Amino acid sequence: MSVSAVAADSSVCAPLPVLGRDVLVPLVTGGEVDYAALDYAASAPALQRVWDDVAAYAPYYGSVHRGAGYLSQLSTDLFENSRRTIAEFLGCRAGDQVVFTRSTTDSLNLLAAVLPRGTRVFVFETEHHASLLPWEQRADVTVTYLNAPRTPQQAVDTLEKALAEREPYGPALVCVTGASNVTGELWPVRELAAAAHAHGARIVLDAAQLAPHHPLDIAELDADWVAFSGHKLYAPFGAGVLAGRADWLQDAEPYLAGGGASRKVSRRTDGGVDVEWHTTAARHEAGSPNVIGAYAIASACQALTEAGFDTLVAREQALIARVREGLAEVPEVKVLSLFGDEAPRVGVLSFVVEGWNSSHFAAALSAEYGIGVRDGLFCAHPLVRTLLGSEPQDPGECGAPEAAPGERSLNAIRVSLGVGTPEEHVDRFVHAVQELVTNGARWNYRTEDGRCVPASL
């Protein structure tokens, strides 16, 4: 792999420059091409602005909260100012807490850990595993999985019915995605929040795919909590956020026990220790925090805000419409959807191609066209299996995932884009799909460690 500044010209139409825009990758058919990163839903490339901000701060890095030196004080101010910047970006209310975590998954596991005993959790089967799985880790919490709705209104009706029928009537939590990581479709968060609150329940929003693509206001949506990851919001370094109501967070034992979470520790006469825990966000941030990760998220939030979400959303909608129009010209392509073609969506779309295993198709896009997409079940296995229930796949084809006994091999292709995507990458993708379907792959492929890869000559 080589890097050339010449390739940067391909991203001039992108409103916010990202790292990797000038990376050239080899093609199996010969030559090199600038890499078309169309896998934003998995990890978005970091904004150049974020990288520059972090690099400028790096020489001033110091310990946080407990250092008397100048760099420690500067780093502490940076860390806490980042918290305030993110709270403003999310539209947090007075009294809401912003807790720094490692990721969306970590954020939702934190929330699962602080639920009051006996809480009933309601979650649609359509969720990403990060928001589908954490709740059953608690033996004293009951989880109800709701079937995939086929319209936004059906989602609201299904939730209202489940909440109305719950027994006993106690604490309840609804977990819902803001935008599907499989279909890109927007969910009716405000209406689901109203239904939850009408039945005495709270709601947490998985905004991993919503926050990078769409304005997010926790107060306007009337969500109790929101969770997202920095690495999907154009910020690297493995940090995430859980933001929202403070009471359940304050009332629960710390997510991790250790320094930073403790306010006072003293020995008892019986030889044990008494601990007084913080009541602020620090209660669940034990250990030395990821200062650079927090600052990177704050920098990304500022960059998106300054660029103007109206402009960014309008451009992204034009690009995803271009993708959909191009795919619609290929009868062999079926786009996956819960709510139908007219449903609003972010820049995420999944599809299957008749006569192709999705892993084989994705491998050809990469090896022959320099296009990076995702194939598989996208950590949303129940949803993708529901959407592909009637779609046959050839289990013997290159890269076909192993199926359980009695099941067919199922997988799909996902294309996702964002603020750093140039128009040329979208056009190249559409052309590549059309050409592969019409003419087939120009190279032979084989299965290696469960993946479809180009075969050696």
pLDDT of 404 above 80: no
Distance, in Å, from the CA atom of 278 to the CA atom of 238, rounded to the nearest integer, reads: 24
Q: 9-18, 344-353, 405-414: which has the minimum mean pLDDT?
A: 9-18
pLDDT of 391 above 60: no
Distance, in Å, from the CA atom of 119 to the CA atom of 413, rounded to the nearest integer, reads: 37
pLDDT of 392 above 60: no
What is the structure's pLDDT at 168?
A: 81
What is the structure's pLDDT at 1?
A: 32
Q: What is the mean pLDDT of residues 409-425?
A: 94
For residue 322, give the 3-state DSSP assignment: helix
Q: Which of 428, 426, 182, 177 is nearest to 317 (CA)?
A: 426
Q: What is the mean pLDDT of residues 203-213?
A: 98
pLDDT of 6 above 70: no
Q: Can you give 364-409 as a three-state secondary structure string?
A: HHHHHHCEECEEECCCCHHHHHHHCCCCCCCCCCCCCCCCCCCCCC
For 10-66, the pLDDT digits (tens) are 444 678 999 999 999 999 999 999 999 999 999 999 999 999 999 999 999 999 988
Distance, in Å, from the CA atom of 253 to the CA atom of 113, rounded to the nearest integer, reads: 8
Q: How confident is the model at residue 403 (pLDDT cuts 50, 70, 90)?
A: low
What is the structure's pLDDT at 91?
A: 97
What is the structure's pLDDT at 311?
A: 95
Find where tokens 């598989």 sit.
376
What's the whole-number average pLDDT of the chain? Answer: 92
Q: Torsion over CA of 379, 382, 383 and 389, rounded to 10 degrees?
A: 120
Six token digits for residue 335: 């786009």
More confident residue, 391 or 338: 338
Enumerate the active-site residues: 379
What is the structure's pLDDT at 450?
A: 81
What is the structure's pLDDT at 457?
A: 59
More confident residue, 58 or 451: 58
CB 350 within 8 A of CB 386: no
Q: How confident is the model at residue 449 (pLDDT cuts 50, 70, 90)?
A: confident
> Could you tell me what percent of the chain has a pLDDT over 70?
93
Q: What is the mean pLDDT of residues 287-304?
A: 97
From residue 413, alpha-carbon distances to 37, 214, 335, 366 in Å are: 14, 23, 9, 12
Q: What is the mean pLDDT of residues 73-89?
A: 97
DSSP structural state of residue 137: G
Q: What is the mean pLDDT of residues 406-434?
A: 91
Q: What is the mean pLDDT of residues 163-176?
A: 93
Instruction: Give the strand pairing for 97-101 and 240-244.
Output: antiparallel
